[in-house]
Amino acid sequence: GVGAALAGNLTFMVGGVEQEFNAAKELLTCMGSNVVYCGEVGTGQAAKICNNMLLAISMIGTAEAMNLGIRS
C-alpha cells in the first residue's frame, strides 16, 4: 500500500525476459525491498493475483469471525 511505497518496502513480482528483468532490477530495488523474477511474461501478474486472492480469503475469514463473535 501507500505506507510501503513511501518506506520503499514494496514487493515487485516481475515476469518477462530475464535479461530485461536484470537490467530493470536495480531501478526496482530503489522502490521496493523485494524484487522477485517469476518467469515468462504474465507470470508476475499471475503471482500477484494469487497473492491478492489469498489476502482476500484471509480478510473475508477475519470479517466473518468478527461478525460471529460480535453476534454471539
> What is the pLDDT at residue 62?
97
Of 13, 48, 54, 68, the active-site residue reads 48
Domain span holding position 63: 1-71
Active-site annotation holds for 48: yes
Query: What is the number of other CB atoms lying within 10 angstroms of the CB of residue 11?
Result: 14
* Local mean pLDDT, 10-residue blocks, the chain (72 residues): 85 96 94 95 96 96 97 95
> What is the pLDDT at residue 68?
97
Count of structural domains within the chain: 1
Strand-pairing partners, residue 37, are 14
> What is the pLDDT at residue 8?
84
> What is the pLDDT at residue 59?
97
pTM across the whole model: 0.75
> What is the pLDDT at residue 50?
96
